[in-house]
Structure 1
Amino acid sequence: MTVQRSPWANRGWPVGTFLARLPITDRRILLDLGVHRSHPAGDTLIRQGAAGDAVLVLLDSVVAVTAGVENGAETLVAIRVSGDIIGEMAVLDNTTRFASVTACRRSLISHVAGSAFMEFLHQHPSAAVAMNQLLGERLRQANRRRLDFTGYDVDVRLARALIELAGQHGHRLAGATDVGVRLSHAEYGALIGANKDSVQRALRQLSARGLVETGRRKVLILNLTELANFADIAQ
């Protein structure tokens, strides 16, 4: 369903997202290129292996990026939120989608044709620079997570993932830090390369140390400095 546009260009976007990186003039032009659509929770926005004919700009959204491999296993690659852009890789290199994207809740998304997005980058160098910076950051995050799989136990990998998520999507709440996304134990496991039971044990261990507090798909970081020390992250 197509919905009427709002003045999204003037909104304060989460730090690190694509829209936050753009000058407001470029942001306004990009958002004017797209068709704004509302999607229900659970809607498949991008399907792995499909043609890459558009990019999606998340206006009011939380989505999960998942990729399947030949043995049937599925991995949670990333969580993206309002202000992020998804589907850009297939458009930039003219290939099929490497992952699927699903709406985690009802979401408002701007659909921008791939050809229009490429022309936008060509005409707006600052946007092209922002795109390169974002892709470089995502590559570093992916490489760091692969190293975590081989270098750390599950509890440390989980702590590192929680800090990464909080840095991207979190907010302060009554002396603690809300991680900012709602994931199941299985989804955390897919993110850090562990099974659901291992994630449950790791969360109990972190809670027993007084580092986190857990609720229904909710994780609060009680002491960010101590959790970073536990996770072997330099402050």
Structure 2
Amino acid sequence: TFRLYDFDVTHFVLTGKKNALAVEVFSPGPDDLAITFIDWAPGMPDDNMGIWQPVILYSSGQVALKNTFVHTRLNTHTLDEAELAIETEIVNTQDHTIETEIECAIEDVTFNKHITVNPLSTNKLILTHHEFPQLKIRNPRLWWPYQLGKPELYELRMILKTKDNVSDSANVTFGIREIKTVNNEHGARLFLINGKELLIRGTAWSPDLMLRQSKRQDEIDIDFLINLNMN
């Protein structure tokens, strides 16, 4: 429903001066899968057109990290071992090849890798336990839905360096879990969280019509759903 965009404004920003960013937006059309497609709520005159989340100005050195994600795979029979895979993109904004060093840390697990990035290109990088045995975690703290346990979380810290200078960094919070779906003997879909069966109980949850949502309102809504035994 809500799309994300990023724009390279490197050549437009004036250092040390006040800058203004103007963005042209367009109303969603009748066939767009926007918030206006529902047939049981009144539509806004502008079809909720515009920017409704914070605008972030992001800066980096000659190479940057983008779209970092941690994949997790769990031994659901014993729950005592998890395999992690880190996926990220390294963007070279320069017209020459750059030698980089990426440093990764997940609590006391650390490792690094040397990477050559071609001019004006994006390298997709996947780090697995086959290359770095440290990414095989013993006795991991698992993420559970609230009915089954605590939603334990880890943090990945990444630093991208060029000639000992930090060019970019990223922090990613993630949980170690394994989610699967299977069909039971009645042909109904069964959900498994870390190997444990979970009955999904859901309901429709629509955002505020004027998009006046806040973190506090989200907390209130989620607490309300928990009290209703939704998950």
- Pairwise same-fold verdict (TM > 0.5): no
Which protein shows a greater Rg?
2
TM value normalised by structure 2: 0.26
- The structure with the greater share of residues assigned to strand is 2
- The structure with the greater share of residues assigned to helix is 1
Return the structure number with greater relative CO, CA threshold 8 A, min gap 6.
1
